[in-house]
Structure 1
Amino acid sequence: MKKVIISLISLFFIFNLISCDKKDSQATVTTTDSTAYSIKESSTCNVSIEPKIELLSIVQYLADDPTIIKENLSSDNDKYSKDIASYFSKYIDDPVVTLYKKMLKTGFSYSTPPQAMLYVDDNLKLLTNLTLPSDVISAAGNKKTLIKFFDLLSDFRKKSSFDDFYLSHIDLYKKLVSTVKEKVDKLGCIDKLIDYYGYKQNSYNFIIEPLSIGGYAARIPSKNDKFDLYDFMVIPNDDAEFFQMVIHEFGHSYVNPLTEKNIDEVNKYSNLFTPIKDAMTKEQYGSWDFCVNEHIVRAVAYRNLDTNFSSGVNRRYIDMDTNRKFIYLDALSEKLKEYENNRNKYKTFNDFYPKLLETLKEFSDSSSTKK
C-alpha cells in the first residue's frame, strides 16, 4: 500500500515499538558511545526504531510533509512533537529541508522516503549490494539529487547533534518496546500472515515511524528468490486496527508482485478504474494496478479480521472502504472464501490470484454490457 490513514484516536501509541522476543539487541549506528543506536528485538519479526528513519522523519517534520503529524496528538506524542520543534526549529531553513521540499513536488513522499533509506547504511552511504529502484530515483527527481539528499542528511545529523536528541529519548523507546511486545505476541500477526499466503519470506521487519500518518510497505531481494519485507508504521491502540494494518502492509509484498506478473491480464479490466479514478487518486492510488493491489490487500486483511476477530469488525471495515469508492472490495472478499475453504487445492495465495482476476472480469464484462 502506498498509504493507510488511521484515525487520530488510534494514535495513542504511535511512539510504540513492536517486539517479538524478550531478547534486546542494540546495533550501533557509528563507532562511538555517544551515537544513536537502533532499539531492536527479533523473533518471527524484527522490530525496531531506527536512527536513520527518525532522522528522516525530523527533516519531514521541518519540511511540513503532510505525511507527518504535528498536532492533535495524545499527551505523550504531543510532548515528543514539541521536543522536536524545540530542538530542531533553528534548522527549518537547513539545505536538507529546502531540498526535501523540492523533492516533495516531484513525488518523493508517502512510502518513497522511508523506502529510500533502506538503500543506505547507518552512516547514510549507499549500500553496494543493492540497486536503487527506478521509481525511488524518479520520485526524487534523479539519482544525483537523491545522493545529494543523503549527503545533506548526514551533514544535518552532525550539525544538529541529532544523536543527542535521539539518545535523550531512549528510555521512552525501550519502555514502549515491552508495551507493544504484548500486542504482537497476543495477536500473532506474522504467523497468521504466513499461514494465509501459504509461504514464508526471508524476513519480516517492522520499523516504527512515530509521527507518520499511517503505514507503508517495502521489500528488498534476499537469498533463495525470497525477500526481506518491511513495514513502516505507527502503532494503533485498537487491536483490530493494529492487526489489519500489519496484515495489510506486509500483504503488499505478496500481492504487488503478482499484479506485476499478471499485468497484461489485469489491464484488460482497466475500464473498472474509470468510475473510481478521482477518489482513488485522492487516496494516492492514481493508477489501475495500484488500485487493484489496494483492493486485494484490503480484502485479505479484512478476511483475516473475520476469522480472528468477528464478522462485525470485518463488515465495518468493508463498508467504510466501500463508501470511499473501493467498490470491488466486497466481491473480492467473498471470493477469498473459496481460497480459504480449498487450501488443499490452492497451496498458496499465488495459486489463487488468477481467481481474483476472474472476479474483476465479471465486473468488467457487466460494465461493458451496460454501455
Structure 2
Amino acid sequence: MKKTILPILLLISIISFGQKSNLNITIDKKIETIYSIAFLDNYFLVSNHDNLYKSKLRKKLDALKNHKAVVLFDTLSKKHGFNFYKVTDWALQFGKFPELNKVREVAEPYSFVETDSEYLLKNFKKEFISFNQDSLFQEYLTEIKPLNEKIINQVKESKSIQELPTYLERYYGTKLGSYNLILSPLVHSGGFNAEFIEDGKKEVYAIIGPNGEIEHIPYFEKEFLEMDLILHEFGHSFVNPLTEKYHNDIENLKEKYYTENLKRIGENEGYSKWTNVFNELLIRATTIRITEKNFGTEKAKELLDYEKSIGFSLVENIVEILKEYEKNRKKYPNFNKFYPILIERMK
C-alpha cells in the first residue's frame, strides 16, 4: 500500500507545483563587506572560529580599522539596535556595488527608535560603498575568491541540498518565489532568515555561518547546514505569517503552557515573548517531521532529543499533533488549513 501511495503523492506534488524550485547557493559580496567591517569592529556575532579569512583581514585591512564605515557601524550596532537580522536585511535589499541601488523590499520592514538612526544609515551606506571600493579591500576580495569557490563547491557536493525546497513545499503545501542560501565565512555558527518582495514574489534567504573549520578553511557540516539550519530558517517563511494571523488564539494558550520555566528557557534561546516561543517550538517540530520523512528516524530523534535537552519538551507534543496533518493531507492540502486545528488540539 505504501509503495502505491508514495508515487501518487509525488505525482500530485509535481502537478500542483510545476517546475522544481532550485536553491541558489552563493557567497554574497554585500554580506562579505558588512561582516568584514563587523570583524574590524569586534562585532559580537562574528564567527568564533579562526580561519584564513580572519587571518587575511588582520594582515591586509589593519589600516582600515579606523575607516568611517567601521566607526559608523560601531555606533549603529551599539546605540541604535542595528544588529542581528537587521544587518543582513539592510545589506541584501541592495543590488551590486558600486551603485548599490535598492532592488528589493524587506517583507517586514523594521523601524529604529532613535530619530537620527536613518540619517546615520544614509551616511553608513556611503561609507559602506567607500569601504568596498577601497583598493585594500578589493585586493582582499581577489585573494579570497578561490577560497569562496572551494567552500561553495564543498557544499554543492551534497546530493540532498537541492532537494530541500521540494521537501519544504511538499510538507507545507505552498510554494515561495525563490530560495537563496548565502554562506558567510564570518557569520556566527548559526544564521538568519530574510524575506524580500521582488516583482510581487516572496524571496527567502538563509544567511548561514560555518560550524567549524578544517585546515583553517570554514566548514559547513552537511547535517548541521541542511537540517538544523536551512530547513529551520526557510521554515520561518512558511510558518511566521500564520503565527501572525492566529496571534490572539496563540495568546489564549499562554496560561496553559507559558510556565516560568519555559519563559526562562525561551529567553535563554533569544525569545522574550510567548508568541515567539510558540512559533519557534512549532518550526522546530515541523523541521523534525520533515527531517524524519526525508533523512530518517535516527536524525529526527537526534533533533528531538536536543530540543528536550534544552527544555523545549513541548516540541514533542507538537510533533504528535503534526502526525494528524500528515495522515490527512486530502483534508488539509496545506499547512494553512491545519494551523487552526493544531491550536485547537493544543487547547
TM-score normalised by the shorter chain: which range applies? 0.7 to 0.9
Structure 2 CA distance for partners of 1:132 and 1:246, relative to 1, 3 Å: closer
CA distance in 1, matches of 2:253, 2:184: 36
Q: In the alignment, which residue of structure 2 is the partner of 1:81?
A: 54
Alignment of 1:187-266 (within 5 A): 188-213=163-188, 214-223=190-199, 226-234=201-209, 237-244=220-227, 245-266=229-250
Q: In the alignment, which residue of structure 2 is the partner of 1:67?
A: 45
Amino acid at match of 2:321: K
Amino acid at match of 2:329: R
CA distance in 1, matches of 2:329, 2:323: 10
Runs of 5+ unmatched residues, structure 1: 1-41, 362-371
Say whether 1:56 aligns with 2:42.
no
Runs of 5+ unmatched residues, structure 2: 1-19, 212-219
Relative contact order (C-alpha < 8 Å, sep 6+): which is higher? 1
After alignment, is 207-216 or 118-127 more displaced? 118-127
Aligned-pair CA distance for 1:87: 1.6
Structure 2 CA distance for partners of 1:222 and 1:338, relative to 1, 3 Å: farther
Say whether 1:111 aligns with 2:96.
no
Is the 2:23–2:180 contact (alpha carbons within 8 Å) kept by the matching residues of 1? yes
Q: Give the root-mean-square deviation of aligned CA atoms.
A: 2.6
Q: Identity of counterpart residues, as a percentage?
A: 27
Secondary structure of 1:345's aligned partner? coil
Say whether 1:306 aligns with 2:289.
no
Alignment of 1:1-371 (within 5 A): 44-71=22-49, 73=50, 78-105=51-78, 106-123=80-97, 125-127=100-102, 130=105, 133-135=108-110, 137-138=112-113, 142-159=117-134, 161-183=136-158, 185=160, 188-213=163-188, 214-223=190-199, 226-234=201-209, 237-244=220-227, 245-271=229-255, 272-275=257-260, 276-361=262-347
Structure 2 CA distance for partners of 1:240 and 1:136, relative to 1, 3 Å: farther
Report how many residues are paired: 314
Structure 2 CA distance for partners of 1:163 and 1:43, relative to 1, 3 Å: farther
Is the 1:107–1:139 contact (alpha carbons within 8 Å) kept by the matching residues of 2? no
CA distance in 2, matches of 1:99, 1:218: 23
Aligned-pair CA distance for 1:202: 0.9
Once the two structures are superposed, residues 322-347 of structure 1 have per-residue CA deviations (whole angstroms, 9 ceiling, x without a partner) of: 23232321111111111111111111
Aligned-pair CA distance for 1:110: 2.0
Structure 2 CA distance for partners of 1:234 and 1:70, relative to 1, 3 Å: closer
Aligned-pair CA distance for 1:240: 2.7
CA distance in 2, matches of 1:209, 1:333: 31
